[in-house]
């Protein structure tokens, strides 16, 4: 394999992880509603114009997929269970997962609400193995969200993304540097990340069915048939993908929220849940080592009316006691004349970062 396929900006072999939550929306529904576990569940509407947003693995066995029209999904699985989407819950769980990822590296590139790349060539935990990091992340995700994630590990984004699909659900798959070319040679062109259905059909017509077939083509030949994309196909067929992991968000706040299965009616119920949120928020602040000056309380009532109250202080909020005092002041400003569906807390105006671990260069160890 060409050496440059493995080398980052500093001349070091890169270690890239792709984390992908398993059947994310549907899995959240099965987690929150135990009666749905083990059953074919989709998130979406059963209406004639409805579309499946996500499908559980039980539903996928019937050929039901995301983005499929609901009427087709019902034909394939007449006993399909439709759940309405709860995007506020999915966003909250996604934030939990991203918080975990940022504990290992600042080089996190979210692709969507349920997947992200990490560059752990250097990391905050002083681990010598990318596989250890991925396994730890999976364990943390399971413990903190009661959901599973699959991980792919390799020397670049293209291979890490493909690797995460190899052993789903709850999988962990590694493509080591010396395994890259043999892996690609056997890979069906339809499984190449970046090769869509129509492109795959065009390649098949040209006699290209596997990575080995693609490797046999010259750069000029691929460009002639596929335009600029031919350059990409030529490179990835040889294991070359020098695209960096690009963090596409700057953290502006640390937050937590919860949508309740049963609306909160009493002061006692609200205070109990608020205590859980305060503890969870401070744990996230401590883990991220990012302290801010503004605390925000978010309330959504059972009629879906949403309010926020914020308070900003002159100095960083650096103790849980100080944060709790500010939260209770905000609670006193809220008129609770309706049941509460959701509560959330966040700290913003982040002013600093403390770290306990300096980044440490990893050895070439994928095991």
CA–CA separation, 159 and 210 (whole Å) = 15
Characterize 182-203 residue by residue with b for buried, 16 or more Cβ atoms within 10 angstroms of its Cβ, and e for exposed: ebbeebebeebbebeeebbeeb
CA–CA separation, 287 and 194 (whole Å) = 35
Contact 323, 282 (CB under 8 A): yes
Residues with Cβ < 8 Å from 70, sequence gap 6 or more? 42, 44, 45, 46, 47, 48, 49, 50, 51, 52, 82
Total count of residues recorded for the chain: 367
Would residue 115 show up in a list of annotated catalytic residues for this protein? Answer: yes
Count of CA atoms in the C-beta half-sphere (13 A) of 84: 2
Neighbours of 249 (CB within 10 A): 9
**Of the listed 29, 58, 109, 115, which one is catalytic?**
115
Active site residues: 115
């Amino acid at each position: 394999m060409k050496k440059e396929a493995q080398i980052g900006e500093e001349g070091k072999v890169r270690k890239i992880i792709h984390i992908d939550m398993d059947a994310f929306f549907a899995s959240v529904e099965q987690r929150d509603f135990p009666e749905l576990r083990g059953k074919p569940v989709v998130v979406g509407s059963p209406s004639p114009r409805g579309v499946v947003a996500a499908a559980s693995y039980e539903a996928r066995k019937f050929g039901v997929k995301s983005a499929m029209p609901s009427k087709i999904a019902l034909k394939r699985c007449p006993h399909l269970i439709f759940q309405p989407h709860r995007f506020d819950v999915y966003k909250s769980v996604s934030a939990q997962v991203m918080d975990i990822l940022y504990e290992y590296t600042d080089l996190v590139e979210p692709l969507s609400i349920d997947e992200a790349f990490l560059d752990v060539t250097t990391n905050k935990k002083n681990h010598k193995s990318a596989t250890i990091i991925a396994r730890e992340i999976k364990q943390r995700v399971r413990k903190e969200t009661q959901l599973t994630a699959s991980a792919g590990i390799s020397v670049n984004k293209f291979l890490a993304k493909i690797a995460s699909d190899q052993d789903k659900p709850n999988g962990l798959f590694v493509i080591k540097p010396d395994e890259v070319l043999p892996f690609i040679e056997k890979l069906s062109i339809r499984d190449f990340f970046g090769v869509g259905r129509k492109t795959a059909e065009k390649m098949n017509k040209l006699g290209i069915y596997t990575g080995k077939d693609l490797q046999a083509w010259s750069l000029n030949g691929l460009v002639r048939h596929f335009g600029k994309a031919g350059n990409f196909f030529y490179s990835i067929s040889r294991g070359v993908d020098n695209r960096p992991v690009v963090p596409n968000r700057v953290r502006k706040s640390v937050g937590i929220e919860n949508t309740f299965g049963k609306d909160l009616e009493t002061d006692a119920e609200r205070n109990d849940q608020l205590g859980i949120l305060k503890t969870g928020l401070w744990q996230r602040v401590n883990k991220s080592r990012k302290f801010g000056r503004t605390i925000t309380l978010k309330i959504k009532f059972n009629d879906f009316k949403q309010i926020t109250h914020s308070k900003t202080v002159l100095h960083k909020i650096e103790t849980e006691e100080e944060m709790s005092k500010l939260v209770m002041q905000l609670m006193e400003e809220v008129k609770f004349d309706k049941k509460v569906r959701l509560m959330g807390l966040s700290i913003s105006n982040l002013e600093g970062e403390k770290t306990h671990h300096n980044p440490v260069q990893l050895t070439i160890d994928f095991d």
